[in-house]
A = this chain, B = another copy of it.
Amino acid sequence: MRLSQFHLHTSKETPAEAELASHRLMLKAGMIRKLAAGLYTWSPLGLRVLRKVERVVREEMDAAGAIELLMPTIQPQELWEETGRWEKFGGQLLKIKDRKEAGYCYGPTAEEVITDFARSELSSYKQLPVNFYNIQTKFRDEIRPRFGVMRAREFLMKDAYSFHLTDEDLDREYRNMFDAYCRIFERLGLKYRAVFADTGAIGGSASHEFHVLADSGEDAIAFASGSDYAANVELAEAVSPGQRPDAGEAMRKIDTPTQKTCEEVAALMGIALQRTVKSIAIIGTDADGNEQFVLALVRGDHVVNEIKLAKLPGLGEYRLATEAEIADHLGSEPGFLGPVNPRRPIRVIADRSVATMADFVVGANEAGYHLAGANWGRDLPEPEVADIRNVVEGDPSPDGHGTLGIARGIEVGHVFQLGRRYAEAMKCTVLDENGKAAVPTMGCYGVGVSRIVAAAIEQNFDDNGIRWPETMAPWRVAVCMINPKKDAAVSGAAENLYRELNAAGIETVLDDRGLRPGAMFADIELIGIPHRVVVSERGLAAGTFEYRARDAVESENLDHAALMARLGA
């Protein structure tokens, strides 16, 4: 492609509405243009990148044996009523009435449509297993669409749905898709993690999210230094740090007149925050609806994990205790709570880290005081122990391989074992080997194709613009001409190089727009072309081209052979 024949429309202005780097850079590079809230036109430049992602996804899905089809974007209300999701899906479902007042929605996903397809097309176990996918526009009516295509309302998604007679076969295909996703993100050149997306309690294989790592990611991911274990921080297990030391101090009351937080108390006492214990007073409700006062304890430097807490018996939908309830049970006011000597008998749940502490500091249940040198079994009863905190950097990995690091990620893929609920709700059956109707079990596998484009930028940019991985770049090489109008030899040599590279299968763009070098280079950097070759009068005289990789600090003068070798031609 010659840029003079293309529509490149970069901007020097930094768009005020863009909070994320990817949003800002996609607008500046002219990859997308906003049509309305959460609706973007992909410009010719943007579409080139989008199509590259789409192509890799398609190739890997095909290679993994999935079969492509194409479902409509508009889906009938009746199908969604069969699964009960017409009401349950919530406000993200864009509901539509046609001219005959029949109800439809713009598909945000396609479990209903594919299950309807399957119940018509699949009749025998011999047709299983099968994995159908499509790469199709989806719509989710986000309350607050933002971050450009990162959270657009209309977006491009690859969704796949597999059908199996047995759970074992679903496991096999789940692993097959898991591997295909790894190949997709590897080929795209992205740093990513496959993250356990459930608690891991049931084998952990029922759901994984694929995250592109980026500092701006919305999700915090814990990953092991010694294995490929990764999990959402909120779901990662915090293991016990080891044995509890023996008690070394006597318990004593500390004067903390205005010190209510662990940080304040530790600072006052001149001790590490890790020696303090935070007490959170909550009210849980058991299965019979009875309320119960509970004191949850985590180490001063830890954060309580609400998801883990809510999973404990009697704590479903718990709430924070009121000041009156605290006064009633502990005889204290907030800021000085603790598990020692409550006014009434209470349930105390200590995080695993707290249960292994000795000589710790807690609130004294008396305004203005804390207790130091507290010890389990001596100063207060042994507590109920559970994992109720978020993991932190340096925690041991729950799989025993090294320690956990924390990274931020952007979710771009999801593999999920749906089981039989859609097939059951929609009466989808096939005849098994014995001629009996069997409900197939299903897997579903999504990739946010358009989101990957934004996520890749979040991971790969600098002050000058985007730094595309090779596979995603709109072109791999840009050939720039200096003063082409003045010097026919320059434009001739640039043309030749441009043709030669494309003929060698290296996708190359020729910048023949006749811009000044500064403006030209700024554009090429902004739009993130991995390799830049400058053809100039001076270079031609010396028999060299000026080559610079997008991520290099310096450019190099290379003769033709060296240049071709560098570009892999």
Q: Which residues of A contact B (CB under 8 A)?
A: 5-7, 9, 30, 33, 35-37, 39-44, 46-47, 50, 65, 67-76, 91, 94, 96, 98-99, 102, 104, 106, 113, 116-117, 120-121, 127, 130, 132, 137, 139, 141, 143, 153-154
Contacts and interface: CB of A to CB of B under 8 A. Distances in A.
Nearest to A90: B99
Contacts of A106: 74, 96, 106
A174 B132 CA distance: 41
Contacts of A137: 73, 137
Contact of A141 (B68, B72, B75, B98): B98
Contact of A42 (B41, B65, B69): B69
A47 B69 CA distance: 6
Contact of A71 (B35, B94, B121): B35
24 contacts: A6-B67, A35-B76, A35-B113, A36-B75, A36-B76, A37-B102, A39-B72, A39-B74, A40-B72, A41-B72, A42-B69, A44-B68, A44-B69, A44-B132, A46-B69, A46-B70, A47-B68, A73-B73, A73-B154, A74-B139, A74-B154, A94-B96, A96-B96, A99-B143
Given A117-B33, A137-B137, A69 B41 contact: yes
A6 to B, nearest CB: 6
Contacts of A72: 35, 39-41, 154
Given A5-B65, A121-B9, A70 B47 contact: yes
Given A7-B69, A35-B117, A44-B69, 17 more contacts: A6-B67, A33-B120, A35-B75, A35-B76, A36-B74, A39-B75, A41-B71, A43-B121, A44-B67, A46-B69, A47-B69, A73-B73, A73-B154, A74-B154, A94-B98, A94-B99, A99-B141
B98 A70 contact: no
Nearest to A130: B7
A69 B36 CA distance: 17
Contacts of A43: 69, 121
Shortest Cβ-Cβ A-B pairs, 10 listed: A42-B70, A36-B76, A39-B72, A44-B67, A72-B154, A91-B99, A9-B121, A41-B71, A99-B141, A47-B70
